[in-house]
Amino acid sequence: MKKILILNGPNLNLLGTREPDQYGHATLADVEALCVSTGQRLGLAVECFQSNWEGALIDKIHEYGRLFKCGGALGCVFNPGALTHTSIALHDAIKGVDGLPVVECHISNVHAREGFRHHSWVSPAAAGIVVGFGVEGYTLAMEGLVRKALGAASTHTHI
């Protein structure tokens, strides 16, 4: 069974404790449980990882880049939190692993918020972006990764 990584960045461990208007009432544990059950439905083994440290997120992307190359991983759903708007290092990590499909996911619609949230360093390196669907966005991102993988497989069989 292929693995899928659900990667969450800084402060997402605080989900459900404050700012419910922006992020809803679900906790990070709720989000991770949702992803695990979505994984069961899609036939994927789900690993969830959250860190407030940029380097730990980068190390995890590298690990999954290696796993993807040997066929052990389908991809990664990544909510980089506020590092979205600041981190060239995360952009470079995703580009650097060369191949691992990463879907950038934001709970809130960042484009309807403050101007500083409108730019993402991660988006140009991402395979896709899901924004503003609340925590259901994680499920949509997982389904998108599966569809992309199936599309890639069927493209290959036609070549």
**What does the binding site for ligand CA2 look like in residue numbers (CB under 6 A)?**
11-12, 14-15, 17-19, 23, 79, 81-82, 84, 106-108, 110, 117
List of long-range contacts for 152-157, beta carbons under 8 Å, 24+ apart: none
In the complex, least distance from residue 66 CB atom to ligand CA2, rounded to whole angstroms: 26
Candidates 129, 83, 73, 72; CA nearest to 106 is 129
Q: Which residues are catalytic?
A: 23, 106
- Amino acid (1-letter code) at residue 153: A
Strands 73-79 and 3-8, by their bridges, are: parallel
Distance of alpha carbon 16 from alpha carbon 62, whole angstroms: 29
Give the residue with the Cβ less far from ligand CA2, 112 or 152: 112
**DSSP state for residue 16 in the 8-state scheme:** T
Give the residue with the Cβ less far from ligand CA2, 16 or 96: 16
Give the residue with the Cβ less far from ligand CA2, 82 or 152: 82
In the complex, least distance from residue 145 CB atom to ligand CA2, rounded to whole angstroms: 18
In the complex, least distance from residue 95 CB atom to ligand CA2, rounded to whole angstroms: 20
